[in-house]
Amino acid sequence: MSYRNSAIHQFNIYFFNSAFHMQQLTHILGCILLFLVSSPVVAQNDCSYELSGYVLDAHNKKPLPNSKVHIRELDITVTANSKGFYSIPGMCKGEYLVFCKHIGCDAIKDTIELTQSTVLNFYPEHHLEIGPVEVEANKDADLTQKPERMSERELNESRGLSLGEGLSKINGVSQLSAGNNISKPVIHGMHSNRILILNNGVRQEGQQWGNEHAPEIDPFIAGDLAVIKGANSVRYGPDAIAGVILVNPKELKKTPGISGELNLVGLSNGQQGNVSATVDGNLSKLPALRWRAQGTLKRGGNVHAPDYFLKNTGIFEYNFSGAVGWFKPNYGIDVFYSQFNTEIGVFSASHFGNLTDLQTAFEAERPLEEADFTYAINRPRQEIEHELFKAQGYLFTGDKGKLTFTYARQFNRRREFDKDVPLNDSLAALNLPALSFNLTTHTGEIAWQHNRVNNFKGSIGVSGIHQGNTYRGRFFIPNFRKLGGGVYWIEQWKPKGSKLALEAGARFDYIYQRIYMWVDEEIYSPEQHFMNGNGSFGASYAFNKKFSVRGNVGTAWRPPNVAELYSDGLHHGAAGIEIGNSALKTEQALNFTASLEYDSDRLRFLVDGYYNIVNNFIYLRPTLETLLTIKGAYPVFAYSQANAHLRGTDITVGYELTDNWNFTSKASILRAWNFSQNDHLIWMPADRFENSVEYRFNKNSKLTNAFISMTVVTVLEQTRVPENTDFAPPPEGYTILNASMGMDIPVKNQLITVGLTANNLLNARYRDYMNRFRYFTDVMGTNIALRVKVPFELVKAKSIHEIHN
């Protein structure tokens, strides 16, 4: 058995042999639910213990008053007194994660097993203040565009899914997909080059122009996933029209020891298995040195819709990353490297040999090709590799602020194999891709954050990019070279103790691009110059600790990308012919956002409203023509441009019915209008509603962090589309039922997290408007996932107070 099949195949067999068919999975789900509901409550723990200690400077052992000590499991935060002393009485026996934070210091944390009253001292590396530092839960409080972060539980439930699928748990974020394995995030109706993804602080640069080109990021890397909705071009540069996605790994280990985490995920649909492990280290004799190693392996076979298997929809993926850093109070440097590799089968029944079959497929209720389950990945398929190297350093500039330097190199290789092999036997034996892209990108940034001066704090920075793309094989987009640079300045005003915060910024960017392509047997090499300035202004006001409002207005822009300008031919993964338009102009956007947030003990809600005015909005339009080529018959799409308005709202409301029962409701509504055509804008997400109820078991039960939840998802039919402008009408709306449950199991001072989720539990048959393959097939049916997260310790860490005593 090859390396691709061995370990992951054994994992699949373990979880998905003949005993793990759908009926058995449903039976297991019911049994676990019954066990949880019937679990007896054990006697109360002794809750008379006290956790106390001092917060002292690591260098001179002087007290650090007003430090914050936070217990995550209890959601309790206390403040150290003038002597640096803190005390938390009335604690129960158990394991706790304790955070300590002081202004001007990096947060530190320690895990303790409380069996008696305990003294725990903290020794932060104290250095000069770079701005006010909030407790972790409130670190975004003053931002006029607050990131919406996935909770730890949502992160756990997204393990094994693609980045686009996982992010769709955030209200207002949907998916644009091409089958089951390829999806990319959509924010307020916009995607691809209008969304900027920051992978470990680096602008992700791949072939993201394609509708079926998903982000080349391993979601297991992320310790924090967040979305900033709205225009963010001032801070992050062109393309951030719809928003920014932040993919941040956990901080490198700050306490001595070697520990890690093992994630095992099994999915019933496609019999997919995932194994991911992370190891973090820090040496007590060399505490400034921190490191991490991580790797992921994934394999899945053909997925099935409620009535049939989808032919050639398997996936194989292996990824790895490593990081090492040297951190001192006044300076630091870290290096990061990651590699993402995947092989994806493209749904065979989306490619046809003649126009008759293509038209028949548009009208059919089932795919024209079907198959049984297999792990084999055949043509058509894609192979993608993405490398990221990043080096970053920081230096505190006296009492003025902090200087940060970042350099990154990315390499992206995409190989696309057509459905049919060449007729020439010798060429067929080489098994070469029909099309191959190599994209190399170098980026750099220097930024300076200054400390608060007369109620102002801010940052100024300069960034640059050099990018080159080459291709081999069939023409689709040309070779090109791109150079760019930008400078920005952002300031925030907030007097001490004020409820009002104001923020403003400005940026200027210049981009040079040169194309290299053959036209009439001659090299055509036009040069293009794009430049633009943009700005933003925002305000936030906190009426009290529970209720706040935010508003922001900003401009953004992006030049048309090479695919939009010059593509010409078969876009293999999207199963269509795409035609560029060299006359496209730069997109210009004016974005308004406003939000209201309320968070009390029982009631919480978040209401986001937005209005985007986008001139020269570029979109891919079905031409209603089909074309027979030597590679087969395909629908034809062409890039067009229009003045458009996109407006809508995202609403999330949660209510604690009791200490155990919780109800959450979400709604995402979008209206998009094409003013150039005086009609609706095509390819916009339909209105979406989610209602969920959750039961959380008492903390004093024998179950730790145990819960059960049921969610009803309703997506309405997208009726706001131009008439007679697509190869098939929008599909009907649908309602599906999802369920999830989970718990932490204490094993030898570690908490093993176990979760079970079921998507489309009733196996509903439906098609989604935002799925490019809706022309040919239903969405996959019930998918039950079992997730196990096992923390481990290879070298036992001493607690913080032991290290310094």
DSSP string, 699-765: TTSSSEEEEEEEEEEEE-----S-TT-SSSPPPPPEEEEEEEEEEEEEETTEEEEEEEEEESTT---
pLDDT for 106 equals 63
pLDDT for 46 equals 59
Pairing of strands 632-656, 576-579: parallel
Rounded Cα distance between 9 and 301, Å, is 11
pLDDT for 74 equals 78
- Ordered structural domains, the chain, with CATH: 3-119 (2.60.40.10), 246-804 (2.40.170.20)
The token pair at 258 is: 């070697």
Residue 350: how many CB atoms within 10 A of its CB?
29
User: Residue 745 contacts by C-beta under 8 Å, 6 or more apart in sequence?
Assistant: 704, 751, 752, 753, 754
Q: Could you please report the per-residue DSSP string of 208-261? A: TTSTT------GGG-SEEEEEES--HHHH-TTTTSEEEEEEPPPPP-SSEEEEE
pTM value is 0.84
Rounded Cα distance between 713 and 705, Å, is 25
The token pair at 785 is: 């996932």
Q: Report CA torsion sign: 757, 762, 764, 769.
A: negative
Residue 286: how many CB atoms within 10 A of its CB?
10
Helices (H), 386-517: 425-430
For the chain, which residues score pLDDT lower than 70? 1-46, 59, 104-106, 125-142, 210, 699-702, 797-805
Q: Per-residue pLDDT tens for 690-719? A: 999 999 998 665 677 899 999 999 999 999
Residue 355: how many CB atoms within 10 A of its CB?
14
Q: Per-residue pLDDT tens for 468-511? A: 999 999 899 999 999 999 999 999 999 988 999 999 999 999 99
Residue 76: how many CB atoms within 10 A of its CB?
14
- Contact in structure between 300 and 290 (CB atoms under 8 Å): no
Torsion of CA 679, 680, 683, 689, to 10 degrees: -170
- Contact in structure between 20 and 53 (CB atoms under 8 Å): no
pLDDT for 181 equals 84
CA distances from 685 to 176, 539, 770, 781 (A): 9, 29, 6, 21
Q: What are phi and psi of 202, to 5 degrees?
A: -115, 135
Show the CA angle centred on residue 363, arms to residues 362 and 369, nearest 5°: 70
Rounded Cα distance between 453 and 473, Å, is 58
